[in-house]
Amino acid sequence: MGARARQRLVVVSNRLPFVFKRGKGGRWRIERGSGGLVSALLPVLRNRGGSWIGWPGAAETGPDLERAVTAAGAEAGFALKPVTLDARAVHEFYQGFSNEIIWPLFHGLASLCNFEPSYWSTYKEVNRKFAQVVMEDSAASDFIWVHDYHLMGVAAELRGLGCRAKAGFFLHIPFPPPDVFFILPWRLTLLHSLLQYDLLGFQTMRDRRNFIQCLRELVTDVTVQGKGQVVTVATDHRTVRVGGFPISIDYNAFMRQAATDDVARRAQELHRLLPRRKLVLGVDRLDYTKGIPHRLQAFRAALERYPDLRERMSLIQVVVPSREDIPQYHQLKTRIDQLVGQINSSYVRPGGWVPVWYVYDSLSRNDLLAYYRAADIALITPLRDGMNLVAKEYCACSIEEECVLILSEFAGAAAQLQNGALLVNPHDIEGVADTLHRAFTMSDEERRARMRRMRRSIRESDIFWWVDSFLRAAIAKDLSAFPQPESHVIEAVPDYVPI
Ligand code: GDG
- pLDDT tens across 322-357, in order? 877 778 888 999 999 999 999 999 997 777 899 999
**Cβ of 368 less than 6 Å from ligand 1:** yes
According to CATH, the topology of domain 2-248+468-495 is Rossmann fold (3.40.50)
Asked whether the predicted pLDDT for residue 488 surpasses 70, the reply is no
Tell me what pLDDT residue 409 has. 97
Ligand 1 atom nearest to 203, measured from its CA = 28
Which stretches does DSSP call E strand in 245-381?
A: 278-285, 313-320, 356-360, 377-380
Pick the residue whose CA is nearest to atom 28 on ligand 1. Answer: 172
Ligand 1 atom nearest to 389, measured from its CA = 17
Report the separation in Å between the CA atom of 184 and the middle of ligand 1, taken as the mean of its atom positions: 26
What is the rounded average pLDDT of the residues 228-243? Answer: 93
**Cβ of 463 less than 6 Å from ligand 1:** no
Task: Yes or no: say if 95 and 164 are a contact pair by the CB < 8 Å rule.
Answer: no
User: Beta strand pairing status for 239-244 and 199-202?
Assistant: parallel
**Cβ of 390 less than 6 Å from ligand 1:** yes
**Cβ of 286 less than 6 Å from ligand 1:** no
What is the number of residues in the chain?
Answer: 499
The catalytic residue among 367, 376, 385, 462 is: 385
Asked whether the predicted pLDDT for residue 489 surpasses 50, the reply is no
| Nearest one of 257, 213, 253 to 233, comparing CA atoms | 213
Asked whether the predicted pLDDT for residue 432 surpasses 60, the reply is yes
Mutate to test the pocket of ligand 1, among 286, 387, 416, 466 (most ligand atoms within 8 A of CB): 387
Residue % of the chain over a pLDDT of 70: 94
Enumerate the domain spans of the chain.
Answer: 2-248+468-495, 251-460
Q: pLDDT higher for 365 or 32?
A: 365
The reply to whether 251-460 shares the fold of 2-248+468-495 is: yes
**Cβ of 320 less than 6 Å from ligand 1:** yes
Tell me what pLDDT residue 1 has. 41
Tell me what pLDDT residue 60 has. 73
Alpha helices in 26-116 (DSSP H): 36-48, 63-76, 87-89, 103-106
Asked whether the predicted pLDDT for residue 487 surpasses 50, the reply is no
Residue pLDDT, tens place only, 31-57? 887 666 887 888 788 888 899 999 988
**Cβ of 359 less than 6 Å from ligand 1:** no
Distances (CA, A) of 281 to 22, 71, 270, 430: 34, 40, 12, 18
Assign 264 a pLDDT band (cuts: 50, 70, 90). very high
367 counts as catalytic: no
Architecture of domain 251-460: 3-Layer(aba) Sandwich (3.40)
198 counts as catalytic: no
Tell me what pLDDT residue 496 has. 37
**Cβ of 38 less than 6 Å from ligand 1:** no
In terms of phi and psi (left: phi > 0; alpha: psi -120 to 50; beta: otherwise), the region of 299 is: alpha
Task: Yes or no: say if 247 and 463 are a contact pair by the CB < 8 Å rule.
Answer: yes
Asked whether the predicted pLDDT for residue 492 surpasses 60, the reply is no
Asked whether the predicted pLDDT for residue 3 surpasses 70, the reply is no
**Cβ of 34 less than 6 Å from ligand 1:** yes
Residue pLDDT, tens place only, 147-191? 999 999 999 999 999 999 999 999 999 999 999 999 999 999 999
Assign 65 a pLDDT band (cuts: 50, 70, 90). confident
In terms of phi and psi (left: phi > 0; alpha: psi -120 to 50; beta: otherwise), the region of 351 is: left
Report the separation in Å between the CA atom of 37 and the middle of ligand 1, taken as the mean of its atom positions: 11
Report the separation in Å between the CA atom of 389 and the middle of ligand 1, taken as the mean of its atom positions: 6
What is the rounded average pLDDT of the residues 297-321? Answer: 97
Pick the residue whose CA is nearest to atom 23 on ligand 1. Answer: 388
Asked whether the predicted pLDDT for residue 490 surpasses 60, the reply is no
Mean pLDDT over the full length of the chain: 91
Distance CA 13, CA 97 (A): 16
Report the separation in Å between the CA atom of 125 and the middle of ligand 1, taken as the mean of its atom positions: 28
The catalytic residue among 107, 147, 150, 172 is: 172
**Cβ of 362 less than 6 Å from ligand 1:** yes
Tell me what pLDDT residue 126 has. 98
Q: pLDDT higher for 374 or 33?
A: 374
